[in-house]
Each structure stands twice: as C-alpha cells, then as structure tokens.
Chains A and B, each alone.
Chain A
C-alpha cells in the first residue's frame, strides 16, 4: 500500500499547484465568461489629464474583453460594474461562453458601491459553480482567480491567498491574487473550485491600482441580498460621504499628523490651496494624529459644511502652521 501511495505522489510531480490549477482551468473556468462592450461614451474609463493622461496604459480602460461569472444556470451573469459602465451602444454587449458561443447580453441592475452588475443572456443549463462554505475559508486559504481576458477562449488563472475576510464595509474579501482590468469581474474560487466571490473594485480611481497584490471580491452573501433588486434592473448608487481630496502618507518623523501624499485634482483640498507634503494637524478644532482621527473628525460633518483645517508646511525656515477653510464635497468610496 505504501508503494501505491509513493506511486501516486510521484505521479503528481514536485509542484502540487500545477495539476490542481490545470484541473480548475478545465472545469471551473467553464463558469467564467468573456464580456465585450462597445461604448459611445466612457466617463469611468478615462481619468485624469496632463501627466496622468500620458500614462493611459495604466490608468485607462484597455481595449479587449473583461470577465464575468455565470451565477444562475438560466443566463444570469455577474461582473464588475466598472466592466459595463459608460454609454453602451445598442446591441453592444456581448458575452462569450467557454465553448465559443457568443450571445447578446442585456445589462440589468448595477450596484455602484459594491461594484457589481448583473447581465442576462438568453441561454439555459449553463454550468454554475458551487458556493464555498465561508466558515471553512480564512486568512491564508489558497484561492485562484479566473478571468477570460485578453483571450476569450483561454482562461487566465492567478494564484493567491485570502488576505482579509472583511473589506469594503464587510461586502468584500481581499486577496493577493493579481487582479487587473481584464480579470476583474471574474471568479475568485477555492482550489476545490468553489466560488468565493466576484472580483471587483479594480478601476482607475482606486489607490491600490492594478496587480499590486491588493484585490477584492464581492461576497456571495452580499450578492444574494442584492440579486432581486439587480434582476429588476435597479441602478443602486453609492452613498456619498464628505471628502477632502487628500491621500495620506505613512507619517512624518518631525510633525504629528497626516502627511499628505497626494492632493486630488479639483478636490476641496486642492481648491483651498493645500499641497502635497503638507502635514494635516487639525480639522475643525479636532487634533489629527492619524487617518483614524481624521475619520472621527469628519464623522459629524455633512457634505457642504465649511471646515477649518490647519496644516504644517515645511518652508526654508522650518515648519510653519497654515490655516485653510474649505467646503466639504461628497464622493462615493472607494
């Protein structure tokens, strides 16, 4: 019997991942579709101006298909909302199945906050993935992300782990499997081939960028709650929160506060004259020590409120305090 065991192990080779992933590529990938969209307008896909616009390959939506997941056997397909946003041309949404069939897709409901969209195709008896038992999946569980881009006929598999169980207001899990514009919308699965979530929230305006080892997948429990509304075609908008338009750096050795790593274009902070490298130390009389205290200081504020900000700015003569007034604008996160 030991001999047999040795034979079985030897047959599998040294790298157990290769055969496991190869099997998923044959089986689970049948539930992952390619989505092509022709647009008349694309406000989400093109961001920034000036220098950002020069780096279009990184910031802008590339040409080519994106991915989706067959969620119900009678033609309901989930994808990232970003994949199907913008002004879709008439008959401009096409879904390609694992077997090469290309069908017209109809966009039903979308959810902006969760970055999820539901597409319907006219087909039945499609293969669906079993749902993972999330009580058995935890931080460190191996996961595979399957997409169908850039080639519709060849699935792409990226291996990673579950990085965190609760992100995006508990709606998503986080993975370090590399996520790009093409495999966003695809299926995040366990290595047994069970669905964990729909890859989402990889879009030009996110700070984590693409394939940086930070990706998300909307949880199935969340999707199941949304599904009736999505089937009705509801376009659920994200809740807007007051925002300043700054991105926090990791800290400054000299000054306690939030060192500003980036001031977003046309944001309230930029309009007020706040600059990159300034250290935010006070908001509306509340001392700011880190991002958490900023969140607490913004909590009671409403969109349209005017707030006073104090920053320390490094000048030739040393750090100098500067006061600004700005009007909070609303923005959906992330």
Chain B
C-alpha cells in the first residue's frame, strides 16, 4: 500500500518541472548569496570581494578618483578610494572606507570555465536599481573563452549571453557555485543610437585579476606584462621560411640582447607555443596570455627550437621604465585632492601643495609652460625632487607657483 501511495505522489509531480525547480532553487540560492556583495558604483557597477571592503570595478567606471560615493544593495553608502588601476585592461581595485563585516563574493577560477555552463551577471543596467538599490540579475551561459580585443585591452575575455547593458560595467559574472569568475565590462552593439545588448557581452577573467592583485594593492597604475626585446610573427606566414603552420604558435623574428627577452635566452627562429601552461596558437593568443600577468613578474615560456623543446623564464616589462615609473608614482604624494576637471580639491595642511601656495578651487592649466589636459598627463610629468612651475587659474587670473615634488619614500 505504501508503494502505491509513493507511486501516486510521484505521478502527480511532473518530473521535468521538478528538475527545473531544482535548478531554480540553486539559482536563487546563488543570487541570494552574491547579490548583497554587489556595489552600485557611480553610473556603473562593482563587487565587494572581501569583508573589509576591497572591491573591483572597471577603470572606465571608476577612473582613479578618491572618495567616490558608492552604495551596497539596500542603499547603505560608502566612500570608495581607488587603490590600483589598469586603464588598458579596464580594471580598478578600490577600498571602501570604514568597511567592516561586509557581504562579499570571492574570486573563482576562470580557467575552469567551460563553454555552455550557466553564469549570472549582477549589475545596474540603465541605472534601473537607483532608488530601490536592488541590482539586476541576468542569466545566461559562457558563449566563448579567450576572446581578444584591442582598446581597451580585453585580451583574454569571457564572452557571455547573460544580458549585460550600459550600467552593468564593473559588475561580476558569477558561476553557479557563487564565485566571481569575471568582471563584466563591454558589449557588442549594432543598433543605431541605442547601446543595448545583442547577446554578446565580455568579462575580464578572474585569474587575470588575481595575478594583478598584488600590484593593484601596492597602488597606482598597473601596466600589462609584455616581453620586452622581442619581435614576433604569426606562424605559417608565407613571407618567411621555417616558421611552422598557422596555429603552431608565434615565431621569434628578432631578439635584442640586454633586454629581458635576450637575457631569457630567446633566439630568432624559436616558435613560442606555450606560456605558464596555456597553449599559444597565434599572435592574439600570445598577447592574451602574456598580458594575463602585470609587468614586473617572470613567467615560464615554452619554445620549439629545431627538434627541441625548451622552457625559458622571462621577466615581463622594461625594467628601466618600471623603476622610473615606480619613483614617479611614489612622488605623487603632493597633498591635495583632485577635483572636477583639473580643479584642486582639499589641500592637506603642511603638504607640498600647501607649501607651494596652492588653494582649493585653483584650476591647473600648465606645468613648466606646457598645457596639461588631465590628471594622468600631470602625473606623467612628475619626477622625484623636481621643482615644477605650475600655472593655475584663480578668480579668473593666472597664478604661477612652484611645487616641489617630494623625495620618494624608498630609494633603490
């Protein structure tokens, strides 16, 4: 009799509906877990990745301004400071001030992604969640991996059909186990005058972000890794002999001595086919793989040389430029806040800006007689211990002041 009862109960339940509901239950549980970690970041999105308020967003959403007002679901406000940023790769790491015990969503392993698996995007498309501070959830699949695009450099992007739209930028792409596997940032659009999703969205993979994390936390601009001192070509290029077949990898056309490439032992004619376990099939994939690391680290690269395979260890970036930038970056403690445009915000008493006679509200126009158009341009002119002649506009008049750039905190 019990068997009959069980049977009749089972027949009442539609097994397909039951399966769908099981998936739904899983999906809703993930949404419930990850949605509180979402960050309403200006006119875009972000995601909190630690309980003490480290958060990720796109550089094109955040810029590198300090003290931006952001909100968490429900509307609680925080001020966010941009700590490290990569304008080319379109990622910013920021820290929410006075953050404690925040809901967060940890980074997952984008290398484990499979085309076709379910993913969730959390975002604020068209700023629809402003006011109610409830983010938008969209659901889709991983459409492709390792997509390559220039400017901004989404060199190794995840492609998804989870609908992302203007306002989703900087928000997380999440797997069904509730981990952040990418930061959504870019969509392909076709419709005239309407920036609306067409089923093609791109996310920056979490593994790349993890590899940049130390550099982001050290602060300032982070540059993509590249192999300095090497010229490469596409394998199978008919203009050259002995350069393999297209798909084999990239061939080394020239190596400059006394560069990281020369020191690593690359030789002309080498075919690069792997780096850190990633297969390299062509020039785009070569850039895509290499830029998965920031400059300043070393990676293992496999080359085919005649009948041999060799593993080389190469330092990424130009060491001289890295040192120069490091010094310049450390010299940016000038004691003023950046306002809108090139306007100066609050001046720190006793700081270099205060000593130079700069006042809040001054608008910077020239450095050493050269016009500057942005804070990024301004920072590029900074050199430790340098004395810069600044021209600022104050009450409609030009004022000239001398700013002494401080000595770097550490000297190598």
Contacts and interface: CB of A to CB of B under 8 A. Distances in A.
A162 B28 CA distance: 10
Interface in A259-288: 259, 261-262, 279, 281, 287
Interface string A125-161: 0000000000000111110000000000000000011
Interface in B17-44: 17, 19-21, 23-24, 27-28, 30-32, 35, 42-44
**Which of A58, A160, A250 counts the most chain B CB atoms within 10 A?**
A250
B246 interface: no
A140 B138 contact: no
Contacts of B191: 55, 58, 209
B341 A255 contact: yes
B64 interface: yes
A176 B163 contact: yes
A228 interface: no
Contacts of A251: 42-44, 60-63
B59 A253 contact: yes
B126 A214 contact: yes
Contacts of B198: 212
Interface residues of B, number: 77
Contacts of B3: 1
B384 interface: no
Given A5-B10, A167-B128, A248 B43 contact: yes
A138 to B, nearest CB: 6
B137 A139 contact: yes
Contacts of B262: none
Interface in B309-343: 339-342
Given A20-B17, A213-B163, A58 B194 contact: yes
Contacts of A165: 134
Interface residues of A, number: 72
A141 B61 CA distance: 30
B371 A141 contact: no
Contacts of B348: none
Contact of A163 (B6, B130, B138, B196): B138
A65 interface: no
A212 B163 CA distance: 7
B225 interface: no
A263 to B, nearest CB: 11
B368 to A, nearest CB: 15
B31 A253 contact: no
A253 B64 contact: yes
A317 B371 CA distance: 7
A223 B166 CA distance: 30
A256 B343 CA distance: 10
B65 A317 contact: no
B309 to A, nearest CB: 42
A214 B165 contact: yes
Identify whether the interface residues of A are mostly helix, strand, loop, or mixed: mixed
A139 B363 CA distance: 47
A289 B43 CA distance: 10
Contact of A312 (B32, B62, B341, B372): B341
Contact of A16 (B20, B87, B365): B20
A170 interface: yes
A170 B131 CA distance: 10
A239 interface: no
Interface string B180-211: 00000000000111111110000000000000
A3 to B, nearest CB: 12
B196 A208 contact: yes
B83 to A, nearest CB: 15
Contact of A250 (B139, B167, B363, B376): B167
B87 A253 contact: yes
B97 interface: no
A286 to B, nearest CB: 13
Contacts of A306: none
A254 B60 CA distance: 10
A279 B65 CA distance: 15
B6 A138 contact: no
Contact of B376 (A12, A249, A253): A253
B196 A255 contact: no
A293 B130 CA distance: 11
A52 B126 contact: no
B197 A212 contact: yes
A19 interface: yes
Contact of B165 (A51, A58, A208, A319): A208
Contacts of A208: 125-126, 165, 196
A291 B373 CA distance: 25
Interface in A44-73: 51-52, 54-55, 58
Interface of A: 1, 4-5, 8-9, 11-12, 16-17, 19-20, 23, 51-52, 54-55, 58, 138-142, 160-167, 170, 174, 176, 191-192, 207-210, 212-214, 248-259, 261-262, 279, 281, 287, 289-293, 295, 312, 314, 317-321
30 contacts: A11-B15, A12-B16, A16-B16, A52-B192, A52-B193, A55-B192, A58-B191, A139-B32, A141-B28, A163-B138, A164-B132, A164-B135, A166-B134, A174-B128, A191-B17, A191-B21, A208-B196, A212-B163, A214-B163, A248-B127, A250-B42, A250-B166, A251-B42, A256-B65, A257-B340, A258-B43, A281-B341, A291-B130, A318-B371, A318-B374
